[in-house]
A and B are shown apart, each in its own frame.
Chain A
Amino acid sequence: MSLLTEAPEASAARENPARRRRRVDRLPYLLLLPALVIIGVLLLWPLGQVVTMSFYRLNSVRQLRGDREWPWVGLGNYTQILSDPFFLTVLRNTVLFAVANVLLTMILGTLVGLLLNRLGRKMATFVASCVMLAWATPALTGTIVWKWIFDDTSGLVTWLFNALPDRLSTSLFGHSDWTGYGWFNSPLLFFSILTLVVVWHSFPFIAVSVLAGLKSVPSELHEAARVDGAGPWRAFWKITFPLLRPVFGILIVLSTIWDFKVFTQQFVLAGGTQDRPTFMLSIYSYAEAFSPPPKYGLGAAIAVILTLILLVVTGFYVRMVLRQEDES
Chain B
Amino acid sequence: MNRWKRLAPVTAVVASAAMVLTGCGGSDEKAADDSKLTVWMMGEGGDAQNKFLDGVETEFKQKHPDTDVVVQYIPWLEAPKKFQAALAGGEGPDITELGNTETQGWAAQEALADVSGRMGGWADSKDILPDLVKNAQLDGKQYGVPWYAGVRAIYYRTDWFAEAGVKPPTTWEELVSVAKTVQAKKPGTYGIALPGNSELPFYSFLWGAGGEIATNEGGTWKSGYTTPEAQKAVKFWTDLVTVHKVAPPAAAGWNEIDARTQFATGKAAMAFAGSWQQGAIKKDNPEIEKVWGTFPIPGPDGKAAPGFAGGSDVAVWKDSERQDLAWDYLTVLLNKKNSQTFASSLGFFPVYQDLVAGGTYANDKVMASFATTMQNTKLTPLTPKWVEVSRNKTVTQAMNSSVMKGQKTVEKATADAAAEMEGILNSK
Contacts and interface: CB of A to CB of B under 8 A. Distances in A.
A joins B in a complex:
yes
B320 interface: no
Interface stretch (A176-184, A226-234, A238-246): A176-184
A185 B190 contact: no
Contact of B384 (A180, A291, A293): A293
Contact of B392 (A60, A180, A273): A273
B80 A183 contact: no
B398 A276 contact: yes
Contacts of A65: 87-90
B7 interface: no
Contact of A179 (B90, B248, B385, B397): B248
A152 to B, nearest CB: 4
Chain B at the A interface: mostly helix, strand, loop or mixed? helix
Contact of A185 (B109, B250, B267): B250
A179 B188 contact: yes
A179 B190 CA distance: 10
A48 interface: no
In the complex, which of the residues A180, A273, A276 has the most CB atoms of chain B within 10 Å of its own CB atom?
Answer: A180
Interface in A257-308: 271-274, 276, 287, 290-294
Contacts of A181: 248-250
Contacts of A38: 17, 20
Given A276-B398, A292-B387, A293-B385, A182 B109 contact: no
A60 B87 CA distance: 10
A61 interface: yes
A186 B250 CA distance: 10
B30 interface: no
Chain A interface helix/strand/loop/mixed: loop
A37 B188 CA distance: 63
A93 to B, nearest CB: 16
A257 B36 CA distance: 47
A187 B258 CA distance: 20
A276 B388 CA distance: 13
Contacts of B111: 61
Interface in A60-103: 60-62, 64-65
Given A64-B88, A272-B77, A276-B394, A293 B105 contact: yes
Contacts of B385: 293
Contact of A61 (B88, B388, B405): B88
A272 B77 CA distance: 8
A60 B250 contact: no
A209 interface: no
A276 B262 CA distance: 25
* Residue of A37, A41, A294 with highest tally of chain B CB at under 10 A: A294
A238 to B, nearest CB: 49
A153 interface: yes
Contacts of A184: 253
A180 B394 contact: no
Interface string B21-61: 10000000000000000000000000000000000000000
Interface in B58-98: 77, 80-81, 83-84, 87-90
A292 B392 contact: yes
A272 B197 CA distance: 13
A138 B384 CA distance: 37
A156 B190 CA distance: 20
A60 B397 contact: no
Nearest to B88: A64
Contact of B102 (A153, A276, A292): A292
Contacts of A182: 248-253, 405
B249 A185 contact: yes
B388 to A, nearest CB: 6
Contact of B106 (A41, A290, A292): A292
Contacts of B184: none
Nearest to A59: B109
Contact of A294 (B84, B252, B393): B84
A280 B148 CA distance: 38
A62 B405 CA distance: 41
A319 B405 CA distance: 46
- Specify which of A37, A152, A154, A183 lies most central, judged by the most chain B CB atoms within 10 Å of its CB: A152
B412 interface: no
Contacts of A183: 250
A275 to B, nearest CB: 8
A113 B393 CA distance: 43
Contacts of A41: 20
A286 B40 CA distance: 25
A274 B80 contact: no
Nearest to B384: A293
Contacts of B249: 180-182, 185
A200 to B, nearest CB: 22
B197 A274 contact: yes
A62 B109 contact: yes
Contact of B109 (A154, A186, A271, A292): A292
Nearest to B189: A179
Interface string B378-401: 000000110110011110011001
A287 B392 contact: yes
Contacts of A293: 105, 108-109, 384-385, 387-388, 392
Nearest to B21: A37
B324 interface: no
Contacts of B247: 180
Interface in A179-205: 179-186
A174 B111 CA distance: 53
Contacts of B392: 273, 287, 291-293
Interface string B390-428: 011110011001000100000000000000000000000
Nearest to A64: B88
A38 B330 CA distance: 45
Interface in B172-219: 188, 190, 197
Contact of B87 (A37, A62, A273, A276): A62
B255 interface: yes
Interface in A38-67: 38, 41, 60-62, 64-65
A16 B384 CA distance: 76
A181 B265 CA distance: 17
B110 interface: yes
A64 B110 CA distance: 13
Interface centre among A181, A183, A276, A292 (most CB of B within 10 A): A292
Closest 4 CB pairs of A and B: A180-B248, A182-B250, A152-B250, A61-B87
16 contacts: A37-B20, A60-B109, A62-B110, A153-B262, A181-B248, A182-B250, A185-B249, A185-B250, A185-B252, A272-B77, A273-B392, A274-B197, A290-B84, A292-B105, A293-B109, A293-B387
Given A62-B87, A293-B392, 11 more contacts: A64-B88, A182-B251, A185-B250, A185-B401, A186-B405, A276-B398, A291-B388, A292-B388, A293-B108, A293-B387, A293-B388
